[in-house]
Homo-oligomer: A and B are copies of this chain.
Amino acid sequence: MVESMVEHEIQIRVRYSETDAMGFLHHGSYVNYFENGRIELNRALGGDYRAVEEGGLFLVVVKLEIRYASPARFDDLLTLTTQVASISPAKFMHEYVLKRDNTLIATAKTTLACVDRSGSIRRIPDDVRKLVDAGDE
């Protein structure tokens, strides 16, 4: 398990379709934001997750933890910081901080495992790992 400080920031505008009758961003919609954060972090490092899948490997979420601090509303412009917290031969740990200006909206952690089409655990491909190691120097 190697610690890492590779991180990336994106802006996300809350969509109307992501809100709920309480008037806030629905607590399930956050999960999709964090997924976007991971994908854009990977892109920023020079990776291409679509190509990984076309090669028959998938990074699947095996654990997810979200702490909701303050509600967000339709049309809020949020800032999501995604960080690779650590990496092991078959797992990635990411951490997320979602804010609206200086207001903390949520923090989260995910663990991803690398699997093949049959669902068997596989080593994370070297070119995917290398991105994180290189980004970390």
Name A's B-contacting residues (CB within 8 A).
15-17, 19-24, 26-29, 31-32, 35-36, 39, 49-50, 53, 58, 60-68, 70-71, 73-75, 119
Contacts and interface: CB of A to CB of B under 8 A. Distances in A.
A61 B21 CA distance: 14
Nearest to A32: B17
Contacts of A70: 119
B66 A63 contact: yes
Which DSSP category, helix, strand, loop or mixed, fits chain A's interface? mixed
Contacts of A65: 63-66
A39 B31 CA distance: 20
Contacts of A20: 16-17, 19-21
Given A15-B36, A16-B35, A21 B68 contact: no
A27 to B, nearest CB: 4
Contacts of A19: 20-21
Contact of A64 (B27, B32, B39, B61): B27
A24 B19 CA distance: 11
B49 A75 contact: yes
Contacts of A15: 32, 35-36
Nearest to A58: B22
A31 to B, nearest CB: 4
14 contacts: A16-B39, A17-B32, A20-B21, A21-B24, A21-B74, A23-B23, A27-B31, A28-B28, A28-B32, A61-B68, A62-B68, A63-B65, A63-B68, A64-B64
